[in-house]
Structure 1
Amino acid sequence: MVRWIEPDRKADNTSIMIRYPFKFLSAYNSEDTDIFFGRDEEVEQLYQMVFQSDLLLVYGGSGTGKSSLISCGLASRFEPHDWLALTIRRGRNINESLRSKLASMVKQEVPAGMDLSWLDETEEAEAGSELSQQIQTLYRQYFRPIYLIFDQFEELYILGSAEEQARFIDTVKEILGMEQPVKLIIIIREEYLGHLFEFERAVPQLMRKKLRVEPMNLDKVRQVIVGATSHEHSNIRLRQGEEEAVVEGIFTKVKGEGKQLTIQLPYLQVFLDKLYMQITGDEQRQAEAVFNTKALEEIGDMGDVLRDFLQEQALRIQQQLTA
């Protein structure tokens, strides 16, 4: 949920765009790299891993930001010509979804001036499965390493049949044996790691390069809040002299009375948006806000925030149903 405000005019008559720096419960993507904070260490680890293996496993609890880490964090480390990222969700069948995604990319218009007529002769001369031919054609069309990102992979084990799972394992084995530069990144909730036993037996490298996305500790929360509010186009600031108190106060409010040292990212996202709304009351997220200790004291604890949030969502659903 990122909204842009109409340009303001600076003293030198140049225009700037003011941006609401939080995404609420939406995932970050490649257009959000300037407001993606708190995962520098994980992004660097993942970036190194993609050069060490053709198969990576990214796992963590629900809502820890696994998808955003790939689609925004890792994406920020590549130039557009360095990778061709294709995100695949299971849909009705993961194998068919993969082939459909590849086919949709191959069918896209060829850039003006690029002659690919020679592909027809080359493809006729080469044997291989439909999948192999799709990837060969895709690579020749884009001339970029292909990254196949299987998001919410646990759906294969929640909804998929044993036949679908076995077929996908065969597909992975086939891809890993191809000559074209193809990387596979599998994103899964950690409670489903045990379901990967047969997968790992057939593809031993599955667990060799893996990254766990941890919940947010105080340092990462500090990076998120300070980064987002220090961004030159952000419409949110921290009150001068209260920066550390506000950061620690937010972390404490979200964490609650427990002794844990981390917090859940969705809770942080809801809390930050609620704090902004309490200060501004602007549902369009256009007004400027200054986060301060007084506003933080007035907002209540995380239980109050979640209760208000759920009540608001229930009211909106009711209004939509009766409209």
Structure 2
Amino acid sequence: MHVKGGFSGSPVWDNELGAAVGMMVAAQPVREAQQAFVLRTRTLLKEVPELAPYVSPATPFRGLSTFQEDDADVFFGRDDDIERVVTALRGDQLTITVYGPSGCGKSSLALAGVVPRMRRDGYQILQLNATRFASLRSALATELFEISRSEPHGPPRAQNADQVEAWLANLGLADTVHRALGSSADRLLVVLDQAEALLEGSEAVAEELAGLLFSELPRDGLRVLITLRADFMDAALNHARFGSALNRGVTVPLTPMSRDQLAEVISEPVKRIPAVEYDPGLERRILDDAGGEPGIIRGRDDGGNGDKLPGQPYPGPLPPPTPDGGPGVPNPPKVA
């Protein structure tokens, strides 16, 4: 091709991919029409690796981290499970408990899968992680007060979080929510993640949990979503109030991902990135390294603890996809 002077060094844009795929380079001295060719992005990065941080897109994988609500667009493999939980939350029961083995993706399912769907349904979300507080009542009060402060309609109804905590102690969850948030809380979803941390505490902590979340009658617009490790189900069912609440509510088991689900987790996020693709055979190799049975994750010996994250190159076998929804790709998929 021929280009006018001054275009050498310009990016080459692919309208179909929606990305720059190379750089224009003039093959002749400067004149009105210069013969030119395109250097592909991959070739540029090979010759000038220092450009990689500026050219390579951000990884769509989250490694060993829990997917959050903002990660919903790269959360794959759990559509059927999301639908089951959302359907249960739209039903008549106050409490829905998602339980499964450690690391199977309960938190990611709740936060990146279910929460965005419920927010689109008009629910406000009150999110709590049981590993990060000692008192559920105090944590609920703080979150409710923060929501009330962010409301655009007038001043907050409560003076401080302590006042909300007193309401919780005297009125219960549903009436406190209405008093603190008014009509803006017609639909509220409370997400209690990793509830096993509360059951590991004292009996008083478990009683506080049951009293706040399980003593309410089913009420339109108020729902509680709990994630719980399966090995704590026995303790939960044997607890007088917790067990009764689980029996009255809906429990949704979550199993580790199947091979088909893992295949979706590996392939779909990359398809969302313009001009990026896996090397031939890499998807299959990652999937094979994950093992042939549902939930089987083969370890590897890299002289450490085997927790390499996406984008960290290393010699040796590929790390498997993490069971929480993100494949541990050792090198980013190649830029076209």
TM-score range, shorter chain: 0.5 to 0.7
State the match for 1:164 in structure 2. 205
How many residue pairs are counted as aligned between the two chains?
255
Q: 8 Å contact 1:147–1:185 — kept in the other structure?
A: yes
Partner of 1:153: 195
Which secondary structure state, in structure 1, belongs to the residue aligned with residue 87 of structure 2? helix
C-alpha deviation, 1:140, in angstroms = 1.7
What residue number does 2:287 align with?
A: 251
Tell me if 1:262 matches 2:291: no
CA distance, structure 2, for counterparts of residue 261 and residue 110 of structure 1: 44
Structure 1 residues 7-39: Cα deviation after superposition (integer angstroms, max 9, x where no partner): x88456x88994311001111112111111111
The match for 2:81 among 18, 23, 42 is 42
Structure 2: stretches of 5+ with no match in the other structure: 1-10, 21-55, 160-169, 301-305, 321-336
Specify the alignment match of 2:317 in structure 1: 300
Matching of residue 82 in structure 1 with residue 122 in structure 2: yes
Q: 1:218 aligns with which of 259, 272, 288?
A: 259
Gaps spanning 5+ residues in structure 1: where?
A: 1-7, 121-127, 282-297, 304-323
TM-score, normalisation: structure 1: 0.66
Q: What is the correspondence of 1:176-191 to structure 2 with a 5 Å cutoff?
A: 176-177=216-217, 179=219, 181-191=221-231
TM-superposed CA distance for 1:223, in Å, is 0.5
Contact 1:63 1:266 in 2 (8 A): no
TM-align CA RMSD: 3.6
TM-score of the two chains, using structure 2 as the length reference:
0.64
Determine helix, strand or coil for the equivalent of 2:277: strand
Equivalent position SS for 2:151: coil
Letter in 2 for 1:249: R
What is the match of residue 290 of structure 1? none
Contact map agreement 1:59 1:190 (CA 8 A) in 2? yes
Corresponding residue number in structure 2 for 1:310: none
SS of 1:150's partner is strand
Alpha-carbon displacement from aligned partner over 1:49-93 (angstroms, at most 9, x marks no partner): 111222101111222111110111112323456111111133112
1:274-313 correspondence to structure 2 within 5 Å: 276-278=311-313, 299-300=316-317
2:100 alignment partner in structure 1:
60
What is the one-letter code of the residue matched to 1:226?
Answer: S
Structure-2 residue corresponding to 1:291: none
Higher relative contact order, chain-length normalized (CA < 8 Å, sep 6+): 1
1:173 and 1:9, CA in 2 relative to 1: closer, same or farther beyond 3 A? farther
Q: Deviations over 1:219-271 (max 9, x none)?
A: 011111110121134x75223xx4xx43332122232xxx744335999xx78
Q: Which of 20, 23, 48 is the matching residue for 2:59?
A: 20
